[in-house]
Chains A and B, each alone.
Chain A
């Protein structure tokens, strides 16, 4: 697992000619699959600034390497579904705020999201993601349960020990 905050600001290089494609500035998340679907870049000479995860070859500690991408594969971040979730308020499906989204621990191979780190130092399993919108990131109260299958309230997200993530 890798923390997204460490990838932010990393240079993005092309695997074919080592040319600089841009700089990582954000990410696009598919909450249903709990995975990263695209990276948002800045300093992109070609104009576009969202690159699909399928074009990512490797995410290393010092750089993100992408396949040789035609600039046509880039889309613009102006599209409404492109939200950078880091720093967003974190709401439970019950409408209670449990901090903001501090970081995302993800699998650099698959882009799968392992845990969400809250600003309060809690970790929430990625499978509890319900939605990522312009206003908030929404999480389920209990993992894997159907949205209506909850009776109790006041269940603040399960708290797991905060462990140092090395790597």
Chain B
């Protein structure tokens, strides 16, 4: 396994309505929403809706532990047993609380760089939240443009504010197609010594 490989990336909003399919080939639900475990920068799970005639909120949810893989066309689960009570993921939701849409993005130098539009997650088996889609403020020199900002492994998040290292601004890209490379560069920097001065994970 290559350490810096980045799987295909997608805004969480695009995963909504994706079918949840067992390895046996049965579609058992569809994704209603992606729930994030902000403290750990990953997907906590999914809330679900029914499919077809049964469309509508489902009393079940899908914790990430029950996911076989998040793919471009389906969320694969070993079997319908992977679904749990709705509370299993809803409680994660309350505990984790964000990076939610509308949260302000602030650098650790106290500069406001924009607001969160969406979270970008990695497809595959890891369930990592690797970046945020930001409605950029003047500070980025691109007022109200949609840009993508790679996230560290443990984003510092309180309620309505996401704090990022000021040095991360150099990884901002405007096109999601350039994001995997930017995420790769950031990971490479993080691995190459922590001389970037404790910017990572400070609350």
Contacts and interface: CB of A to CB of B under 8 A. Distances in A.
Contact of B124 (A83, A94, A131, A136): A94
9 contacts: A83-B25, A93-B76, A94-B125, A95-B71, A95-B74, A95-B76, A97-B72, A138-B76, A147-B68
Nearest to B26: A133
Nearest to A141: B69
Contacts of B155: none
B71 A131 contact: no
A94 B25 contact: no
A163 interface: no
A40 B124 CA distance: 36
* Interface size band for A: 20 to 34
B1 interface: yes
Contacts, number: 86
Interface in B68-116: 68-76, 78
A45 to B, nearest CB: 32
A106 to B, nearest CB: 19
B75 A138 contact: no
Interface string A125-167: 0000011111111100000000100011110000000000000
B26 to A, nearest CB: 4
A153 B72 CA distance: 11
Nearest to A94: B69
Interface in B11-38: 19, 21-27
